[in-house]
Structure 1
């Protein structure tokens, strides 16, 4: 909400201190840059008061210098806020038509960037850098040869359509060739959805169900949107099974396998009540099982869905369509109730989760096109569930810090979203304040049980307080910095422009005027007032940098922990375990640096383990994993290289089974948990 700039209100400002920015929010970007991503998109909102598309600290300082990003930065649609300022701040590519009034077909750049180069307000080496980064990513991704041309249109599903869809008048041609590239991708889609399904409750081992079960299915979320899976533009409705959120980044479903169809393929005795209001039902028989489907949606704030403006500001943490009441009424009628939740994030479950008849609860998250079979495989025991919660489910909204639990309301001027909780989000905050959630971060049950034994730890590489000095920067490409003659910017002779399309050329009059303005300024001894600190010479760079993602030493494995995971379940079922590794900083240093009690730093899912079968799992903890961000030194610091780090291994943030210690290089099974 309030992320986009408009004539009435600037986009909100995320106000984040430097340490929190590095240790939480920059961390995944560092991983992505290290993995070789080619493009990074700037956000709509501001960070610390500066719009992201022209925030030089984020784009030049952190992304390109500290993280060594070699690709290009592109603006999100309508997130471009200025011309020269964004170019100097590190923006490399502008999305088309990117001004605050998108229908006019204008841009802060197009020919204005050309004008800015000719008049000297954008240095030619900055333009060279933009182009180099775009072309470098093109080569890096192998798009320079044997790369297929586009064969589909995002503007129409028809075979024939406008060749220039943004123009007032356009020739017609083939725009969709209907090339089927699905192959067997459905298997991967099903596996991803299936592995994510998280069983949070299973009293009396009600699950898995039998193919001979008598099932009563409740809730419209069990069946695909009756108008079709793609009926709502940009998926901007919550109708039928929730497979994805809404917004401009959605994809069309090639098909949608919904849960009710998959269930009916397994069980003959199924009655489906396609309503979110509990209907009149016959007196249940003792063996009948009610399966209740509920959902919670969110998406891009370009769309308002059921009074929710992107964020769930209306529904908040309640199930949509009065789903909580649906569960309560089903639980009052049936002795055995299974709840299936399709949701974008955590919900409050307290109104029904402890009811005696609510025996099982599954979070199926956002499963996509394979929503049905992936769920049925788990419901009926073809596989054991192996998903784990990527967030905590609290007992009350105010169990979380107010800056997270309370959404910001409209205000005149820029909404200030200050991250007062710092490092303490989710389980970090709950642990600090001794708040017990309903289900902790990392929680997830299986149809079998696992033990964690024979743990060992070894030191891989000795640690110094700070990482080794970064290598010197290499040379940058050398190009001519001579400003081109204005004639190079003229529209080509005989060229016919298409209305609302963007071109870099200027009229002869405008190009000549831009060059004349530069010459006049030069002769008078004046120049464009660049921001303080703007330099074009190569600098040594921050000590935390030096490679893609940052100083290469940050990814050196400092410690290695191995543990044997064994399927010891008595149900004779196979399953996958997720081994989670949390770091606890030395007690004295933790106090000095105010670090969370434990922090997840590595995890690994085992193969499918048969009953009695074991697998040795190895987790690695890097220099960065045991470091804090030293704001004064602007570098990553290991607070106590020889101190007692605890490496806690378990199956959830509140189920830590093994502790290994860096000072003694010993491990302990079933220790007293720090949380």
Structure 2
């Protein structure tokens, strides 16, 4: 989400485009009504019961007040709901972002999602989530606006890929689920986002001149790729979900009933509340009927900060009174919101916000959006929430570092090595580490991308700080051009720091409008030339890359003097010592690539290029690549990448042997029938009295603040319509009769049988080298030949990182394959299907997607090493 979208015309959105362009045939967003009531899974029943009891006693205005924000800059947080103080329900504080508490102080700037993804470490994913939860709770944030798994990373140039965990749905799923579990273990509501298909920044929003981009996705691809990580987050009990700005199959995500009602709330069994992204809501009644529960930040998307207009708040009160929105739709939304509040225990001793996302001052306007007339007071208490979180942040940054090349043991460095360090990325931003709003620049050490997914640095431990702390013998040339005075010597080791950046499209950085539309996959600041120039003068060159995603390396990767290359990803505040621990061999690098590194942009299908240069029509982004994203595409087309997904070297070597495969749950073509829905709250369908929405007497309203009250005449007029025989023209296919649910549902995440373990796999991982290190066992599934479904050659289904193994030490690693892992989504039966129950599924294990030499077969239940890798 983002508030600074107000800074660009693209944020001043209107409801209709100049011209409507039809989506391609076959890509549809069918009607799906009604919005399923929540509370039918046992894990949430107590919280729904508590919430329903409160909702039953609320007035209409109190209910609608809880479903929307009070407006942009109308409170301390980026999002501030209304309250129901009469019954003890406070405003809820919603705050960015995925890697730390945004726009505040005394917080930790954690490594980005793409960095934790590169660790392939489930324990670290969970511990990072716990640390984030502690900080958000400590700041008084009710709702953490993360983690992000949309974008999935389909487009290598996409601006916000770095906020997620990698270009694979299973890697994303583990990152999301474990982050959710960690954050919510601290009582903070997590938000899985952005639902769904938000794969580029440009044209994502509905604007004055055209509708937001339509991501056209077929049903199977939606289920098997893009919805997969959302399903796992829901299975982990995530309390909220954020819909994306864009449309899917022609229907805006904020009012796409098929996506929200049918898939998210019914099939995936999501029990929490669905919020809009900031200014993504483009209608009132249609979005309510489609299952939206909360409007953020509350403003109408055409003229925020100009009027106090809202699609909801007072308009929602009007819609209930005039009968256009059924009463139970509102009641379910409010109950879902309060149920999440109860589910996390926020009704007991939860701290109020103690910071302002709008200012670093101690005192200031309480409602900056109401200036110049806002009341003033204390807005920042400067509460330190860092604790010992720098420890886990540094561990993530260190264990994500991915060694791609290391000729003749160039790394680790000798303690006495003479170093020549090049590139501005090695040292902090000279203008100040937080001098660019939302990190909207690429100056100094690149620790994160830019936009609402960023955070302020409490400090930046830069690589130069790291060299200093090591007492290294180094000379630093703080320039991105090769200097003439570096005086190369034969024994020097040259270390070159280079970057590639991206972010959210309300900020343009060096010609890149969020997406890498200007830089493409090239290094920034002439980084390729800097590497080549250094390599021409020095015989031992180490390249350190801080990057948001894949880059092109062909100009220099094979140069004889480029001896070692490290991807340090986006390390957050801990860029220095984390790198030193790897460079000097305190630890062996153990990161693996969370995406494929190509040799050319032409290696990708044209369909994943950025959609651009569209005028006055809805841009169409048709996902004709289907399931073939990232390594799936490279494998299908037989394209050898520069470095494959999952690749990563170590200072030591490992073997994978003595594997076993054990059948656990017998497979059937379709899963057992879903469990029936449990009991949900019963809501009245009677339109309330108009007086429940009247403005209170002598009420002191704040300018531009969003309220849920109606003038008496307006409320009475609406109630007159609602109590007449006039019927609202509901959309085609509309019904308000609750259903038993779709066959593929049944619990949080879907039919619980999908997650039954089909096979347990164990493998012995041995350190066969001379240096201690950690290995990552990656498990890929290969579907049997001869089935009627087209499937990628291999697909990641599980992974596990070992402890640090001493030279010669072994560890037995446990992996598993579920029914869902061996299934495909059948668009005809609308269910998960095992395409050949008795077929021989290949369970491949190795340390990268192109280094799989151990195969277990499900038919014979045996494992054999020394096999030819399937790709």
**TM-score normalised over the length of structure 1:** 0.98
Of 730, 749, 752, the match for 1:552 = 752
Instruction: Tell me the equivalent position of 1:81.
Output: 282
Distance 1:80 1:373 in 2: 44
Give the superposition deviation at 1:406.
Answer: 4.9
Report the equivalent of 2:293: 92
CA distance in 2, matches of 1:119, 1:505: 15
Q: Who is 1:317 aligned against?
A: 521
| Contact 2:611-2:619 within 8 A present in 1 as well | no
Q: Secondary structure of the equivalent of 2:258?
A: helix
> Which residue matches 2:713?
509
**Contact 1:397 / 1:405 at 8 angstroms: preserved in 2?**
no
- Alignment correspondent of 1:261: 465
1:243 is the counterpart of 2:444: no
In 1, distance between residues paired with 2:300 and 2:238? 24
Shift of 1:163: 1.6
Given candidates 256, 259, 264, the residue that maps to 1:58 is 259
1:424 corresponds to 2:624? no
Tell me the distance in 2 between the aligned counterparts of 1:201 and 1:323.
Answer: 18
CA distance in structure 2 between the aligned counterparts of 1:34 and 1:268, rounded to whole angstroms: 48
Contact 2:305 2:369 in 1 (8 A): no
SS of residue in 1 equivalent to 2:814: strand
Alpha-carbon distance in structure 2 between the residues aligned to 1:158 and 1:208: 45
Query: Could you tell me whether the CA contact under 8 Å between 1:24 and 1:423 is conserved in 2?
Result: yes
Deviation at 1:86, TM superposition (A): 0.2
Higher relative contact order (CA 8 A, sep 6+): 2
What residue is the counterpart of 1:148 in the other structure?
A: 351
The residue correspondences of 1:117-266 to structure 2 (distance < 5 A) are 117-168=320-371, 169-266=373-470
1:280 to 463, 468, 484: 484
Kept after mapping to 2: 8 A contact 1:79/1:98 = no
Contact kept? 1:313, 1:407, Cα under 8 Å = no
Q: Which deviates more, 60-69 or 272-281?
A: 272-281
1:372 aligns with 2:576: yes
Distance 1:153 1:239, change over 3 A: same
Deviations 1:251-299 (A, max 9, x none): 1111111111101221431111111111113441111011001101111
Q: 1:428-474, CA deviations, whole angstroms, 9 ceiling, x for partnerless residues?
A: 11111111001000000000000001011110110000000011112
Deviation at 1:196, TM superposition (A): 0.8
- Structure 1 stretches of 5 or more lacking a match? none
Post-superposition Cα deviations, 1:620-670, rounded to whole Å, max 9, x if no partner, equal 000000000000000000001111000000000000020000000111101
Flag as ranges the 4+ runs of structure 1 deviating above 4 A: none
Matches within 5 A, 1:322-337: 322-337=526-541
CA contact (8 A) 1:658 1:667 kept: yes
Contact in 2 for aligned 1:644/1:661 (Cα 8 Å): yes
User: Does the CA-based 8 Å contact 1:212-1:267 persist in structure 2?
Assistant: no
Q: Report the Cα distance in structure 2 between the residues aligned to 1:468 and 1:289, rounded to whole angstroms.
A: 62
How far apart are residue 356 of structure 1 and its match? 0.3
Q: Which stretch shows the higher mean deviation, 471-480 or 432-441?
A: 471-480
What's the secondary structure of 2:350's corresponding residue? coil
Partner SS for 2:360: coil
For 1:114, the equivalent position in structure 2 comes to: 317
Q: Report the more deviating stretch, 93-102 or 538-547.
A: 93-102
**Corresponding position of 2:820:** 624
Superposed, 1:582-661 pairs within 5 Å as 582-589=780-787, 592-661=788-857
Paired residues of 2:423 and 2:498 also in contact (CA < 8 A): yes
- Spell out, residue by residue over 1:211-262, the C-alpha distance to the aligned partner (whole angstroms, 9 max, x if none): 2111111111111111111110011111111111111232111111111110
SS at match of 2:786: helix
Distance 1:183 1:134 in 2: 30
Q: Confirm whether residue 409 of structure 1 aligns to residue 613 of structure 2.
A: yes
CA distance in 1, matches of 2:366, 2:619: 41
Distance 1:198 1:278 in 2: 26
Tell me, yes or no, if the aligned pair for 2:782 and 2:795 is still in contact at 8 Å.
yes
Matched residues, number: 667
Alignment of 1:376-525 (within 5 A): 376-520=580-724, 522=725
Segment drifting more, 404-413 vs 18-27: 404-413
Deviation at 1:415, TM superposition (A): 0.8
Q: Give 3-state SS (helix, strand or coil) of 1:390's partner.
A: coil
**More divergent stretch after superposition (241-250 vs 327-336):** 241-250
